[in-house]
Structure 1
Amino acid sequence: MRVFLDFEKPIADLEGKIEELRHLTSEGDINIADEVGKLQAKVDRQLRQSYQKLTPWQKVQVARHPDRPHFRQVLSHLVEDFTPLAGDRAFGEDKAIIGGIGRFRGFSAVIIGNEKGGTTEERIAHNFGMAKPEGYRKARRLMEMADRFKLPVLTFVDTAGAYPGVGAEERGQAEAIARSIDACLSLQVPIIASIVGEGGSGGAVALAAANRVLMLEHAVYSVISPEGCASILWRDGDHARDAAEALRLTSDDLLKLGVIDEIIREPLGAAHRDQATALNTLGDAVEANLRTLVGTEGGKLKADRRRKFLDMGKKGLA
């Protein structure tokens, strides 16, 4: 059953009418194809108009849509022969971050991503994509392995942020994130990060300090969630909409600031309406950027990556 967001109510009503007409057609000999076609055209028009003028808060809702492609769909659609590699060799396995070796469009690569889970049970098992220290230490281990074997690294970010629980803090959450960022910046192989849903806080940067940072059109990427920002600045979560406006978390804002390098356009009605097309477009963008980086000398990749992050934000302030 399709999930509709608040601002999609007029679209939901139209699609409900289409389903009713199709049900009538299946029960009898009535031919109402013309009427269905007119309603579908109206749906497409409403989708186009709605998604061309989304507010930052509406973008947050789209980025969190339960039917949006998750990392498992990325793996199944874009990666062949994926072999997961578990554990941080220190504490344990963290299912919020999945990583391993696979083949992406002819390239052997280390592939790492946040997995939120689909069903309630899966979300609990994957901790809603919020990694603990062992998740970031696993990511660092895999990136260092990629460096040793001269394999490019592809990361796919979709997390509200690192897990803020007591146990995570006791096991060195901040240190684990910092070392993961350092590992990203120290690689002498290409690293391409894609923000596919939410990119929240240092938990996202830990996988996204890359040579190329790509972002799906309706994803969001920010230093803190709108709700977290509102609770700090206004001490009231009801100001999340105001916080979303102030955070400049949309792909258009971040491209202007130089935080990301490329916006990947989504199909009509966003990625949750057409996962296959969205994933194909994502794959095309990752492949194009990977081909430009493969063969570049390792020291240059490292130096360019560090310079990129030192210069971040200057573009939008000029």
Structure 2
Amino acid sequence: MSRNSEESIEQLEARRKELETYEQKNNIDLSDDINKIKAKINKKSTQLSPWEQVELARTLERPTTLEYIENIFDDFIEFFGDRVYGDDKAIVGGIASINNQAVTVVGHQRGMTTKENIKRNFGMPHPEGYRKALRLMEQAEKFNRPIITFIDTKGAYPGKEAEERGQSEAIAKNLVEMAGLNVPIISIVIGEGGSGGALGLGVCDRLYMLENSTYSVISPEGAASILFKDGSLKAEAAKSLKLTASDLYDLNVADKVIKEPIGGAHIDKEAVFKDTKETILNGLDELSQFNEDVLIDSRFEKYMNIGDFKIEEK
């Protein structure tokens, strides 16, 4: 059967994984075929469209929040529960250290297999997840610890039970409270940053994005269905949404774009962890020079200066 020369990166990655699995199970050498697919992935990765970057951001093999925590921080102690309803495994958080500095770390956690995704609700938090995150961030403020958040979600869980437990209120409260916390907040978009579910961990002093991550109020499929009445126009919608890291850097939403290896962050995780750690340390060093009042005022100005909106002179 002939292969479509216009296969997406996601389809090529699926084929590569399929061949590698077959190779291992049958103890045969398929390295030539695998290397050809890798070459195609590398070629496509140097000229990605916004939609192709969306596909790359969704790749299951991309490193997750817990992998970043394990490889960047020391002495991580995970905390559980919101002290109201229960524990949400779609958000993880706790205390850790980075270069001997104590920090609080919170992030969305998705799975890399079907079983893990079911456990983590595909990285889509319930309200208790946002309440857990806020509990940890308020604790960080109490003990004067900087906050590091990792964003990687399609969005908050839209189910009936989540709405009954106050999904909208939980996210809204996070936005308000994070805006006024008097400790530095650094957020890193490591995969897909979708809607208010992403923003619930994203009000910060510095927002960094992995090169092939995305950050948007709605998915391309959702936007295409609403704006064009045709979900198949997702690639056009992705372009219009300006959701890529480079777009958002140009719009003053992202403060830095962290480079990825050709083919995506999962191709060389160690290099991505190293660059992300260096970026976090530089951000902490910069923000440590601000006192509480300057920190909060600068955070306000950051959001007022996004895009073409400018603060009026008094």
Match of 2:248 among 240, 250, 254: 254
Change (3 A) 1:173 1:74: same
Is 2:82–2:135's contact at 8 Å kept on the other side of the alignment?
A: yes
Mapped partners of 1:137, 1:85: distance in 2: 12
SS in structure 2 opposite 1:268? Answer: coil
Match of 1:217 among 211, 231, 236: 211
Where does residue 32 of structure 1 map in the other structure? none
Match of 2:81 among 83, 87, 95: 87
Where does residue 192 of structure 1 map in the other structure? 186
Where does residue 7 of structure 2 map in the other structure? 6
Gaps of 5+ in 2: 1-5
Change (3 A) 1:222 1:24: closer
- Aligned pairs for 1:1-318 (under 5 A) are 6-8=7-9, 47-314=41-308
Is 2:77–2:96's contact at 8 Å kept on the other side of the alignment?
A: yes
Mapped partners of 1:149, 1:302: distance in 2: 17
SS in structure 2 opposite 1:163? Answer: coil
Task: Give 1:10 deviation, angstroms.
Answer: 7.7
Mapped partners of 1:182, 1:131: distance in 2: 18
SS in structure 1 opposite 2:51? Answer: helix
Change (3 A) 1:48 1:125: closer
Mapped partners of 2:101, 2:230: distance in 1: 48
Could you list the per-position Cα deviations for residues 148-173 of structure 1 after superposition, in whole angstroms to 9, with x for gaps in the alignment? Answer: 10000000000001111111111111
Change (3 A) 1:23 1:109: same
Is 1:87–1:138's contact at 8 Å kept on the other side of the alignment?
A: yes
TM-score (norm 1): 0.86
Task: Give 1:103 deviation, angstroms.
Answer: 0.9
Mapped partners of 1:218, 1:24: distance in 2: 31
Mapped partners of 2:29, 2:77: distance in 1: 48
Amino acid in the other structure paired with 2:74: E
Mapped partners of 1:24, 1:101: distance in 2: 45
Could you list the per-position Cα deviations for residues 23-70 of structure 1 after superposition, in whole angstroms to 9, with x for gaps in the alignment? Answer: 669xxxxxxxxx98xx96x88875554222101110010000010000
Where does residue 30 of structure 1 map in the other structure? none
Task: Give 1:235 deviation, angstroms.
Answer: 3.3
Mapped partners of 1:238, 1:166: distance in 2: 27
SS in structure 1 opposite 2:193? Answer: strand
Mapped partners of 1:207, 1:6: distance in 2: 34
TM-score (norm 2): 0.87
Change (3 A) 1:112 1:10: closer
SS in structure 2 opposite 1:272? Answer: helix
Is 1:136–1:177's contact at 8 Å kept on the other side of the alignment?
A: yes
Mapped partners of 2:243, 2:201: distance in 1: 17
Task: Give 1:234 deviation, angstroms.
Answer: 2.9
Which of 104-113 and 211-220 deviates more?
A: 104-113
Identity rate of aligned residues, in percent? 41
Change (3 A) 1:174 1:24: closer
What is the alpha-carbon root mean square deviation over aligned residues?
Answer: 2.7
Amino acid in the other structure paired with 2:303: F
Task: Give 1:7 deviation, angstroms.
Answer: 2.8
Is 1:181–1:205's contact at 8 Å kept on the other side of the alignment?
A: yes
Mapped partners of 1:82, 1:112: distance in 2: 11
Task: Give 1:246 deviation, angstroms.
Answer: 1.1
